[in-house]
Amino acid sequence: MSLVSAMASSSSVLSEDQLQCSICLDVFTDPVSTPCGHNFCMICLTEFWDSSSHCQCPVCKEEFPKRPQLRVNTFISELAAPFKKAVQVKSSSAAEKPTQSVVLCDVCCEKKCAAVKSCLICMTSYCKIHLEPHERVSSLKKHKLMDPVENLEDYICLKHERPLELFCRDDQTCVCQFCTEGDHRTHNTVPIEEESEEKKTELGKTQAEVQQMIQERLKKIEEIRHSVELNKKNTEKEKADSVKVFSALMCCIERSQAELLMVMEEKQKAAEMQAEEFIKELEQEITELKRRNTELEQLSHTEDHLHLLQIYPSLCSPPHTRDWTDVTINPHLSEETLRRALSQLQETLSEEMQKVEEIKLKRIQQYAVDVTLDPDTAHPKLILSDDGKQVKHGDKRQNLPDNPERFDRCVCVLGKEGFSSGRFYYEVQVRGKTEWDLGVARESINRKGEITASPKDGYWCVWLKNETEYEALDSPSVPLSLKQAPQKVGVFVDYEEGLISFYDVDAKSHIYSFTDQNFTEKLYPFFCPSLNYGGKNSAPLIICPVNKI
């Protein structure tokens, strides 16, 4: 039998335990033998003797007066090679696993193998081979093993040098068994495994919340992208509408200008024709006058006295002609014609501007929101409908709790939902009322006692009083001149732009706008139906569904 065959045969009989160094507990690397017959890795035995004052066998403790000269036992080395290679392949495979940081065995000397466990008692990390005694020796089985880590000192109590096996819930810190007999004696402590499981559960909940936040933000991204696309389409349509309106305006102006120039040219031509007729008539009169002048000249030199006296009556007066004193040519356009042309242009411009307002209102109505009255803010004399869409003033004060949100002097009520960003729009029917007050108010407004409605006090409103007097409650108030009494009022807010606008919905016309405002808190729809004045102003304010134009 050849040596290789013998080795192969031997390897099938031998085990790793028989080829282990008793110092490093690993398969021999460069095995050497002592005079007493025990085998060790060369580097293990060398380091052992270097660290000791006596030269003795680590196993049987036999002392050698002279340090033996060590040489590699080639036979044992060749027997150990297959086992060594198998161990290296296993450790290499473990090292190749992604997402895991490799902790090396603290016992391996030359070729470090990957550790599979760390012992908190020995403060050592072991590969599979060197861990074997902890799985076999009864005293070592009691040691605290864990998945391999590099910083083992972090898992040891600094005060008692014992494994951190418990968790103090009072102090939220890891402790050892000895700690529970001292400073943490009366504290609530549990095994770290138990606390870890609870924390994992909490982490699971946190992870679910984080995932939910991720989904919400992904959804918000989609909403923003959709909003951008929608805004883009709306902008394109608005641009087309605007071009159409301005094109119509320019055509109107050009047409008015052309008509005016044509009238001016016609006037000029008429003046020229009249001038020609006048000149022709004047020339005819001049011819006649010259003829008469010749006759008079001849008669003045005649010696025939009888003839002179006979024809004198017919020549004594000038020939019949027109009185040209007040005759003039006026080719200029009369003031009335120009005024009429400009008036017609103004009327056309007003019609086109009305179209612009209609387009603007149509765009604004896209931001319609569902507004409902908040009964917790309503003055005790206000009567709200069951659906929260109508409010009117009643004569009897209701027995309601005087909570901080409720108006106690002014007969007002707010909408339930506040807005702190974006745009919103709603419509309110005011038909049949002689007084009302509408708009928005910020959340921190004063709701007790008398109220001054102005932007500096947190109110942006328009009101009707004395049946026909409309005002924007700006600083100062602005009287409003409206062509007709609104029956339905639209309220639009652009939070970021600081804009609040009011519209006559039926007339599709703009009433008033508060601009360049600075909003820093929630805005709520604001309603004041005013007093009913013995039934004269008993009609309710009604929040209407928005019928888009």
Mean pLDDT by 10 residues, the chain (549 residues): 42 64 84 88 86 83 86 82 68 48 85 88 89 90 87 84 88 90 90 90 90 91 89 84 81 83 85 91 91 85 84 79 82 67 79 75 90 96 96 91 92 96 95 96 92 93 94 93 94 95 92 94 96 92 87
pTM of the model: 0.49
What angle, 0 to 180 degrees and rounded to 10, lies between the N-to-C axes of helices 192-299 and 305-315?
160
Would you state the torsion angle of the CA atoms of residues 344, 350, 352, 354, taken in this order, to the nearest 10 degrees?
-150
pLDDT for the residue numbered 517: 95
Interior angle at CA 40, CA 38 and CA 43, nearest 5:
150
Smallest CA-to-CA distance from 528 within 536, 518, 537 is with 537
- For 279, the token pair is 């000149």
pLDDT for the residue numbered 81: 78
**How far apart (Å, rounded) are the C-alpha atoms in residues 441 and 459?**
5
pLDDT for the residue numbered 253: 83
pLDDT digits (tens, 9 = 90+) for 64-121: 888 888 888 888 888 887 777 766 655 555 444 444 568 899 898 878 888 999 998 8
Are 36 and 68 in contact, with CB atoms under 8 Å apart?
A: no
**How far apart (Å, rounded) are the C-alpha atoms in residues 183 and 189?**
12
**How far apart (Å, rounded) are the C-alpha atoms in residues 540 and 530?**
10
User: 425 CB contacts (<8 Å, ≥6 apart)?
Assistant: 364, 365, 367, 368, 369, 490, 491, 492, 493, 546
pLDDT for the residue numbered 358: 77
pLDDT for the residue numbered 323: 85
pLDDT for the residue numbered 9: 44
Place of tokens 């012992």: 119
pLDDT for the residue numbered 549: 59
